[in-house]
Structure 1
Amino acid sequence: MLSAASRPYIDASVPVLREHGLTITKVFYQDLFDTYPHLRNTFNAGNQANGAQQQSLASAVFAYAANIDNAAALAPVISRIVHKHVSLGITAAYYPIVGHHLLKAIKTVLGNAATPELIAAWAEAYGLLAQALIDEENKLYAEAGIIPGALFNMRVIAVSHESELVKSFTMVPMDGSALPKFKPGQYVSVAVQLPNGMRQLRQYSLSDAPDRQHLRISVKREIAGTETPAGAVSNWLHDNVEVGGLLQVSKPFGDFQPETEGDEPIVLLSAGIGITPMISVLNRIADVSPERRVIFAHASRRQDHHPHQADLEKAKQKMPNLQSVTFYEENANAHPEVLSGRMQFRQLPQWDVDKANIYMCGPLPFMQAQWADLLAHGVPQQRLHREVFGPDMLDHLI
């Protein structure tokens, strides 16, 4: 628990972090990488380049300061970070390094306002957070039965085109050992050695049900945008991985675990590549509870950008109470069963909002819009769950 002496300084930091948090995190990462260049391999270079990682850390530090007495609010954030860290092989040795450079960045940006008392308070607060993360990460490593950073050789047995930009890679253990257990919604980290010498890890949701004698990931080729670089890892996977190839993969992790074993209605909302964990959930329900009522809604730009259509059609054949709705922003009129435009609550099949959990995954603007729309139509917030690909802006907390 934070000491009474430090609490006023952390409380006073909230407006300061709102104003200067992004600048602090930019200084932090630059200083960290200048001092420890090898750590660039640990952090997502794409998210560093487009600024998402810096913004995410700024929002996380702000959320921590604003909710330091609200353990219930922070618990899901800590759980998400812990799973991500374990998938990357983060250990306790990283935390003093990060803490040193974070406090140094605060001093640099705030100047004389960063009094010794303020820095001491943040050192205490950071220490408490670091220890909480370390403890939970050690538990998760023990539960998984692995040493930090452990990766496993997987042989690719199938490569399929799911859409114009999405390929699926189906894998089995190279040594013939048993597949790792996972729950629908979880992901694995995939390690890639890039031509520029960097080693990068990326997380990809498992896109098929458990107990199917394989693991499958579905990867969207991230093309360069006007302000964002092309995805180095996704493009490498698309261009280089063939049947018979080898991938180094972590055990599955992730705390986004939709409930698939019950019988109450469930609502699955996705956009773009966010469909991947939802297909895993849908395929699992089709295996264990095909009579269950499922509302499955997906939004894509157009049909050739819509992955896993074959999986959805197979599920429809097995699940009489599956209600599926598709939204296309372009060329929807060419498909009578498709709705035009962006997903809206009023166009979805209706359900008792007090008796169904809603799970969503997709680009952050999509989830922000759905979250607000669902709340506006009376869906209790405790029924809403989301998975964010990439850094989470924690907008629902701050």
Structure 2
Amino acid sequence: MLSQKTIDIVKSTAPILAERGVEITSVFYKRLFEKHPELLNIFNHANQKKGRQQAALANTVYAAAEHIDRLEVILPAVKQIAYKHRSLGVKPEHYPIVGENLLAAIKEVLGHAATDDIIQAWGEAYGVIAQAFIDIEKEMYLEAKEQTGGWAGFKAFKVVKKEIESSVITSFYLKPADGSNVPDYLPGQYISVRLQIEGEAYLFNRQYTLSDSPGKGYFRISVKREADGHFPHGQVSNYLHDHVEIGDEIEVSAPAGEFVLDQGTSPVYLLGGGVGITPLMSMLNDLANKKSARQTVFIQASKNGEMTAFRNEVKEKMDSLPNGESYLFLENPTSIDRQDGGFDHQGFIGLAFLETIIKDPNAKFYICGPVPFMKAMIENLEQLGIKEANIHYEFFGPSLNLKEKQFV
């Protein structure tokens, strides 16, 4: 239990984190990896280079400081981050290391302003925050291990099928290398893939959504080749596309995540942009497998036909649903796209279109795609009077606060 003095100090210094949080966390990660380079085996290197992890941590600590006397307020955010930690293999012994280097970073950045009382208060507060994560993650590790076919940490899986879905997306079908069963999971969850890339000193972790429904005896991940013109910058995605073949083994964590399809009866709208379609494909396949009578509207946005994944699969699943309808938006249709006419609208999914197809304000909406896409969809839905509780979204990488347009 924190003293009132500690609570007062932490809350009074919270605004400093809003102002200098990214500076503090940037120093923190630099210190952390210099002193403990082995932790590079856990963290996503790409998010570090882009500064996303630094910003995410800064705002997480800020939120915790603001609510240090009522941590239950941020419990949903804590659980979301804890799922990512469990999926990546974060353990209790990592938290004291993080705490030591975070306090040192605060002192380095704030200088004389970081008095002994402030550092002591933050040390005590960090202990409480860390314990909240440790307790939740302990339950998550146990749940992952004790489910049928489950395990803790990482397990070897074999690639049994590799299928090109579009010019930029390829699916990998994975089965346990030891021949055991695949555990059940919820439509929309993700796994972590851990790779050793030749010539690299540290392992690479990436989280990929499971793009097929549960109960099929395999995991399917659908990976976009991340490249900028002729210069690939997605080290793991390019490695998977170019070097991982049928029969190869990769390490995988048990499924995790809270962006999952509810099992109710209300209408469901699935809105996906680019590779953000992957968790929605898991949801769509689950609805189709159960021959759900729910009104199901699938809305996909892509740049052009060549980059559009799962077109045939979407059509097949929608045709099997008694109350299903789908729409494909292409930003820049090619001449072949125009000739084939295999899309419904050119441009972006806009407010006017959504207004014409949303009949029930109590419907459930699931959104995944690039950040600008999700921001636009959320704003459109809110303008149409959709309640916040009915709008669900998932993003790839550190958590984002799309309303405040900042990392959290």
What range is the shorter-chain TM-score in? Answer: over 0.9
Superposed counterparts of 1:266-345, under 5 Å: 266-331=268-333, 334=338, 335=341, 337-345=343-351
Deviations 1:326-356 (A, max 9, x none): 2221127723642222222321353345421
- Conserved 8 A contact 2:64-2:71: no
Q: Distance in 2 between matches of 1:73 and 1:339?
A: 42
How many residue pairs match? The answer is 396
Q: Distance in 1 between matches of 2:25 and 2:369?
A: 25
Match of 1:231 in 2: 234
Q: Secondary structure at the match of 1:6?
A: helix
The alpha-carbon deviation at position 66 of structure 1 amounts to: 3.0
| Paired amino acid for 1:89 | G
Q: Distance in 1 between matches of 2:252 and 2:245?
A: 16
Q: Secondary structure at the match of 1:197?
A: coil
The alpha-carbon deviation at position 141 of structure 1 amounts to: 1.0
Q: Secondary structure at the match of 1:145?
A: helix
Superposed counterparts of 1:250-261, under 5 Å: 250-259=253-262, 261=263
The yes-or-no answer on 1:245 pairing with 2:248 is yes
| Paired amino acid for 2:108 | T
Q: Secondary structure at the match of 1:270?
A: strand
The yes-or-no answer on 1:350 pairing with 2:342 is no
User: Structure 1: 5+ residue runs without aligned partners?
Assistant: none
| Paired amino acid for 2:155 | F
| Paired amino acid for 1:231 | G
- Conserved 8 A contact 2:362-2:386: no
- Conserved 8 A contact 1:86-1:148: no
Q: Distance in 2 between matches of 1:275 and 1:70?
A: 36
The alpha-carbon deviation at position 70 of structure 1 amounts to: 5.0
Q: Distance in 2 between matches of 1:45 and 1:224?
A: 17
| Paired amino acid for 1:393 | L
Match of 2:66 in 1: 66
- Conserved 8 A contact 2:155-2:176: yes
Q: Which range moves more in the overlay, 126-135 or 333-342?
A: 333-342
Match of 2:159 in 1: 156
- Conserved 8 A contact 1:63-1:394: no
Deviations 1:104-162 (A, max 9, x none): 11111111111122212211221111101100111111112279962222221211111
Q: Distance in 1 between matches of 2:121 and 2:30?
A: 24
Q: Distance in 1 between matches of 2:124 and 2:391?
A: 33
Percent identity (aligned): 40
In structure 2, relative to structure 1, the CA distance for the partners of 1:128 and 1:83 (3 Å cut) is same
Q: Distance in 2 between matches of 1:378 and 1:132?
A: 35
The alpha-carbon deviation at position 182 of structure 1 amounts to: 0.6
Q: Distance in 2 between matches of 1:368 and 1:67?
A: 26
Match of 2:173 in 1: 170
The alpha-carbon deviation at position 378 of structure 1 amounts to: 0.6
Q: TM-score, normalised by structure 1?
A: 0.94
Q: Distance in 1 between matches of 2:291 and 2:18?
A: 46
Deviations 1:34-83 (A, max 9, x none): 11111112111111111111111112122222344554541221111111
Match of 1:210 in 2: 214
- Conserved 8 A contact 1:353-1:380: no
Q: Distance in 2 between matches of 1:5 and 1:283?
A: 54
The alpha-carbon deviation at position 26 of structure 1 amounts to: 0.6
- Conserved 8 A contact 1:42-1:200: yes
- Give me the CA root mean square deviation: 2.1
- Conserved 8 A contact 1:269-1:361: yes
Match of 1:263 in 2: 265
Q: Distance in 1 between matches of 2:233 and 2:82?
A: 28
Q: Distance in 1 between matches of 2:11 and 2:151?
A: 35
Q: Secondary structure at the match of 2:401?
A: coil
Q: Distance in 2 between matches of 1:363 and 1:266?
A: 21
Q: Secondary structure at the match of 1:360?
A: strand
User: Structure 2: 5+ residue runs without aligned partners?
Assistant: none
